[in-house]
Chains A and B, each alone.
Chain A
Amino acid sequence: MLELENLSWTTEDGTEVLKNVSLQIPDGKVVVITGPNGSGKTSLAKLIAGIYEPTSGRIVLNGEDITEMGITERARRGISYAFQQPVRFKGLTVSDLIALSSKDNLSRPDMCDVLVKVGLCATDYIDREVDSTLSGGEIKRIEIASVISRHSVLTVFDEPEAGIDLWSFTNLIDVFRDMQKNLNGSLIIISHQERIIDIADELVVITDGEITACGPKDEIMPSLMDGKGCRKMCEMPREGIF
C-alpha cells in the first residue's frame, strides 16, 4: 500500500503546484488519476518516483517512510514510473533499455513478447536506438514496455494513451487489464481517456493541485460527467479513503 500524507510541492520559482495531497492506494487496485491539464498529476507521479522532492508531507510504501529516499532506492523497492514524455538516448537500443529494466532477466524472445504486447513488431524495433528517430507513438510504447518488464509492486503510467493510435490503444487496454488480473501490488494510471477510466477500481480527480474527488469509479463518474467536483467526498486529510 502506498500512502501519501499531506504532500505539497512548490516549484523553485515559488508556485505551489500540489497542496496537501493525501491519498491511500491499497494493494490489488487499479487507480486512475485524472484532471485538467496542468493540475499537478505528473508532478504527483514524480513525487512518488522520487524525481521531485516534496516541500512537506510524507510518502509511505508498505509501512516504510520513503520520503527521503532517492529515485534508485525507490525503484529497488518496487516503484516504477512510465514517463509522460519518454526520455531519448543516443546509442542505447530498445533491447539495452529492456535488459536494464528487467535486470537482464529476459531472453531475447521474452523481450520480443513484451514489445508485441505494446503493439510493436519486435524484430523491427528490438535493435533500434531509443533516439530521436523514433516517432512519438513508438517511443511511448517502448517506454511502456520498459516499465512492464520490471514487474513492480507499484507502477505509475503517465498518460500511456498519448500518441497511441486507436488500433494499438485496444492492445494497451488489454495490457492493463492483464496487469489488473495479476497485480502483485497496485497500479496507478494517469489518464484523460474514458476507456482507461473504465478499467479503474478507484478514481481520483486532481484539480489545481488538490484532490477534488476520489472513490470508487462508479460513484465519481457521474459527478465528473456533470463537470462538478466532489470535494465533499474528500475532506482531507482523511484516513482510509477507499
Chain B
Amino acid sequence: MNAENKELQMKEETKELLKIVSDFDGTEFKGAYNIREDGGCAGRKSTENITIESKEDKPGINIHVKPGTKGENVFIPACITHSGVDDLVYNDFYIGEGADVTVIAGCGVHTITEEESRHNGIHRFFIEKNARVRYVEKHIGTGATKANRFIDPETDAYLAEGSYLEMDTTQIQGVEKTVRKTRAKLDAGAKLVIREKLMTADDDTAETDFVVELNGEDCGADVVSRSVARGNSRQSFRARLIGNTRCTGHSECDAIIADHGSVLSVPELEAYSEDAALIHEAAIGKIAGEQIMKLQTLGLTEEEAEAKIIEGFLR
C-alpha cells in the first residue's frame, strides 16, 4: 500500500485543463485529491476521513471514505498533455456507511498533432448503506482542431440499501471518440440519478451505454441524457433498465441535431416483476424554428439564437 501524500507539481497544460474540468483555482484543491498526469501522479493528498492509495497489481488508486464522513470532496482528475499517450487506469471507491461526499473527476486531453491519445478510466463504486455520492465529471479535448483524442470511461456502481449516487457527466468539446459504459446494481431503496450532457461536432463519435439492474424493493433509477450532434458527428444512446422487483426506472434521451449529425436512441426496458414501473422517453430533432424566431424577436441573430438555445440545453 502506498498512501503517502505527494506534493502538487504539475505542468502548465495540466493546470489549464484542470481549470476547465475540475474548477481548479490554480493553487489548491479543497479536499482529498489525486492528480493523474500523462499516466503518472502529479500530486496526492489524503485527509483524515478520505484515504487515497495506489493499487499494487495495476495502475490506479483505491479511495476509502470513512463511514459517516459528511460534506467532503475528493478530486481525481486525469490529464493528458501530449499526443501518443495511452493511459489506462483503475480507480475504486469505497464509500462507508452513511457518508455523504462529492467526487470531482474529469479528464482533459490536450494534443497538438494528429497522433492518438487515449484515456481509459475504469471506475468502481462500492457505496455502503445510506451513503450518498455526487459524482461530477467533465471531459474535454483541447489543442489542434483536427486530432485523435479518445476518452473511454467505464463505471460500475454497487449501491447498497438506501444509498444514493448522482452522476453529472459533461463532454462538450474536442473529444473525437468516446465510448462510455455505465453499469449499476441497486439494492432496496437505493437511488441512482444520471445526468449526461454531450456535444459532438465534425466527425466525432460518441457512444453511451447504461445498464441498470434494479434489484431491491423500491429502488429507482433516473437516467437522462441531453445531447447535441453537430457537423457530421454520430451519437448513440443505449439505456437498459432491468426491473427485477418493485422499483421505478426512467430513461430519457433528448437530442438536438444540427447540420448533418445523427443520433441513435435505443431504449431497452426489461421488467421481471409486475410492480416494476419503467419508462423511456426520447425526443430527437433540430432546434424548433419558433425557438429561434422568438429569440430573434428579442434582437438576436439566427446564429446567436441557436448558440443560446444550445448553451441552455446543455447547462
Contact = CB atoms under 8 A, between A and B. Distances in A.
A75 B299 contact: yes
B296 interface: yes
Interface string A94-123: 001100110100000000000000000000
A89 B312 contact: yes
A87 B226 CA distance: 19
A79 B298 CA distance: 9
A100 B300 contact: yes
Nearest to B290: A87
B288 interface: yes
A37 interface: no
Contact of B308 (A72, A87, A100, A150): A100
B293 A51 contact: yes
Contact of B298 (A51, A86, A93, A100): A100
B286 to A, nearest CB: 14
Given A87-B291, A91-B315, A72 B296 contact: yes
A72 B312 contact: no
A213 to B, nearest CB: 28
Contact of A75 (B290, B296, B313): B296
B302 A90 contact: no
B298 A89 contact: no
B269 interface: no
B313 A91 contact: yes
Interface residues of B, number: 22
A81 B298 CA distance: 9
B312 A92 contact: yes
Contact of A91 (B290, B294, B302, B314): B314
A146 interface: yes
Given A89-B291, A90-B254, A70 B308 contact: no
A68 B291 CA distance: 21
B298 A101 contact: yes
Contacts of B299: 72, 75-76, 100-101, 103, 150
A33 interface: no
B294 A90 contact: no
A72 B302 contact: yes
Interface string B280-315: 000000001011011111111110000011011111
B164 to A, nearest CB: 23
A146 B295 CA distance: 10
The main secondary structure of chain B at its interface with chain A is helix
A115 to B, nearest CB: 17
Given A72-B302, A87-B288, A92-B308, A100 B295 contact: yes
A86 B311 CA distance: 20
A169 interface: no
A83 interface: yes
A132 to B, nearest CB: 11
A80 interface: yes
B226 to A, nearest CB: 8
A51 B294 CA distance: 9
A35 to B, nearest CB: 23
A60 interface: no
A241 interface: no
Contacts of A71: 293, 296-297
A173 to B, nearest CB: 24
Contacts of A50: 296
Interface string A2-13: 000000000000
A53 to B, nearest CB: 13
7 contacts: A71-B293, A72-B301, A86-B294, A87-B290, A90-B313, A91-B309, A92-B308
Given A76-B299, A86-B294, A91-B314, 19 more contacts: A50-B296, A71-B297, A72-B301, A80-B297, A87-B288, A87-B293, A87-B294, A89-B309, A90-B226, A91-B309, A91-B313, A91-B315, A92-B308, A92-B309, A92-B312, A96-B308, A100-B295, A100-B298, A100-B300
Interface of A: 49-51, 70-72, 75-76, 79-81, 83, 86-87, 89-93, 96-97, 100-101, 103, 146, 150
The 8 lowest CB-CB distance pairs between A and B, nearest first, are A91-B312, A71-B296, A92-B312, A87-B294, A75-B299, A101-B298, A91-B313, A72-B296
